[in-house]
Amino acid sequence: MFVSADPKTHDDLRAAVTATTEAVIQALAKPGPRDALDATQLANAVAQLDPLPEEGTPLATTLDDLAPILEGGIRLGDPNCVAHLHPAPLIEAATAELAIGITNQSMDAFDASPAATFVEDALVTRLAELHGFPGGSGVMTMGGTASNLLGLLLARDRAGENVRRDGLPQNRWRIAASATSHDSIRRSAALLGLGTEAVIAVPTTPEGTMSVDALRELTHGEDVIAIVGTAGTTDLGAIDPLDAIADHAQALGAWFHVDAAVGSGLTLSDTHRRRLDGIERANSITADLHKLWWMPFGASALLVPDVAELRAVHHASVYLNRAEDEAEGQLNLVGRSLDTSRRFDAFKVLVALRTRGRKQLGAMVDTVLDLTRYAGEAIQARPELELVAPTHTVMVAFRRVGDDARNVEIHRSLFASGEAVIGRTTVDGRVALKLTLLNPNTTRTQIDALLDLISAA
């Protein structure tokens, strides 16, 4: 018999889950943020594995063979694994992936995901409310890049009549975003046919937030169809002045998109929520749940104040969403998404949110923001390190006093030795090191130890 996840094979399912769980536990039980393996060693290990052998092996053998792959990764729970906006996920959300994979609902058509469809709808409705859109809605996507693309697509399609049918008119539509907005804004402009040159890069203040004076100046006389505010920049975690940007977008009649891929988690916190004031004036919001909400990839949402805003992506498909479905109370989410087949990622989010509750998640947000502020202060207190910009949310950008080459070398040597996986970027044309602190279990002592390591590197 060909084994699948069908009900006749529950024993196989239990055995497979146990075997896979053990393999993961073994890989994560290793000490440190990663093994000290270089790119050649890793490539050689992978090259020995035929991805498509003529004959298969029992699962236990396959997992044994693949153990070096799991072990060759980074271990996100380690306090020295702080390079990216990439948390060790909540265990109940990660294990809920099993339910998503095994039940394999598809979020395009009601008859492919009857209960799941309503779950995603309820989740995005609740998220929309939390972000200041009571009665709002949205759709889940694979990540912030996809959510930003969808938000800007809505802006583009509102800017002219029948853009979807006729293509772009000749005029030069512009998108304004801060110079430190995420790459996905420029990539979206390219994909939407506007071109990367359509993006007006608005300079930032020394704190790293968009300069509204510069925004006013640079957009003067331009045909601006959208302004993007970033709530939590990738390198500094800085939050643009959303209210002032909303005023300007309103004055220009431009779509206001907030990229809260990073900052969306602040909506969970009683202490920090107010820092997103103005977000409720957006036309669309990107909220990444696989960042400061501790979900495994992919879990993002594009939120809108009214579900009707998503009509720009609506399409009728003869085999998925029939006219009579809605009359029967059915919902076909293919009409909200750029995807067709799509995972039931809302399930893992639902499991985690119901298991933790808003207060606990809010406390986790408060904890990592406190830890980040502490790390910034600890860096300032060390003469051999210098802070590049104030800390805002969960990133600390800093340098070892000295030239760029020295900072590059610190980053590379810590990665090579497997002692620490830290971030490296460029701020104001100079190399900066970066810590992204998403682990609420990390202690101040562990931060001090990491800074000792960096100072000594």
Burial class (CB within 10 angstroms; exposed 0-12, middle 13-18, buried 19+) of 298 = middle
Alpha helices in 104-139 (DSSP H): 114-130
Return the residue of 156, 174, 182, 336 that touches ligand PLP, per CB under 6 A: 182
Strands, E assignment, 401-445: 421-427, 430-436
Tokens of 124: 């995005």
**339 sits near ligand PLP (criterion: CB under 6 A):** no
CB of 153 to ligand PLP, least distance (A): 15
286 vs 405: CA distance, rounded Å? 36
* Window contacting ligand PLP (CB under 6 A); options: 27-35, 186-194, 225-233, 250-258: 225-233
Contacts of 140 (CB under 8 A, 6+ apart): 107, 120, 123, 124, 299, 300, 301, 342, 345, 346
Query: Nearer Cβ to ligand PLP, position 367 or 425?
Result: 425
- Residue 164 DSSP SS3: helix
Buried/exposed 1-20: b ≥16 CB within 10 Å, e otherwise: eeeeeeeeeeeebeebeebe
Residue for token pair 């003469």: 383
**419 sits near ligand PLP (criterion: CB under 6 A):** no
CB of 267 to ligand PLP, least distance (A): 15
CB of 180 to ligand PLP, least distance (A): 9
Return the residue of 80, 105, 117, 145 that touches ligand PLP, per CB under 6 A: 145
Restricting to residues 275-304, name those near ligand PLP by CB under 6 A.
288, 300
Return the residue of 79, 143, 296, 362 that touches ligand PLP, per CB under 6 A: 143
Q: Is 135 left (phi over 0), alpha (psi -120 to 50) or beta?
A: left
Query: Nearer Cβ to ligand PLP, position 87 or 232?
Result: 232
Query: Nearer Cβ to ligand PLP, position 118 or 297?
Result: 297
Query: Nearer Cβ to ligand PLP, position 86 or 373?
Result: 86
Query: Nearer Cβ to ligand PLP, position 292 or 385?
Result: 292
Return the residue of 23, 83, 85, 140 that touches ligand PLP, per CB under 6 A: 85
CB of 457 to ligand PLP, least distance (A): 25
* Window contacting ligand PLP (CB under 6 A); options: 28-36, 58-66, 141-149, 196-204: 141-149
11 vs 34: CA distance, rounded Å? 34
Total of chain residues touching ligand PLP, rule CB under 6 A: 16
β partners of residue 229? 258
Query: Nearer Cβ to ligand PLP, position 234 or 283?
Result: 234
Query: Nearer Cβ to ligand PLP, position 183 or 306?
Result: 183
Query: Nearer Cβ to ligand PLP, position 86 or 382?
Result: 86
CA-CA distances (angstroms) from residue 67 to 12, 46, 184, 248, 297?
A: 21, 11, 34, 54, 21
Residue for token pair 């590379």: 412
**262 sits near ligand PLP (criterion: CB under 6 A):** yes
- Residue 237 DSSP SS3: coil
**234 sits near ligand PLP (criterion: CB under 6 A):** yes
Contacts of 337 (CB under 8 A, 6+ apart): 107, 108, 139, 141, 313
Restricting to residues 357-396, name those near ligand PLP by CB under 6 A.
none
CB of 443 to ligand PLP, least distance (A): 25
* Window contacting ligand PLP (CB under 6 A); options: 74-82, 142-150, 340-348, 404-412: 142-150
> Angle at Cα 211 formed by Cα 206 and Cα 212, nearest 5°?
155
Query: Nearer Cβ to ligand PLP, position 117 or 233?
Result: 233
How do 430-436 and 421-427 pair as beta strands?
antiparallel
Binding site for ligand PLP (CB under 6 A): 85, 143-145, 148, 182, 184, 230, 232-234, 259, 261-262, 288, 300
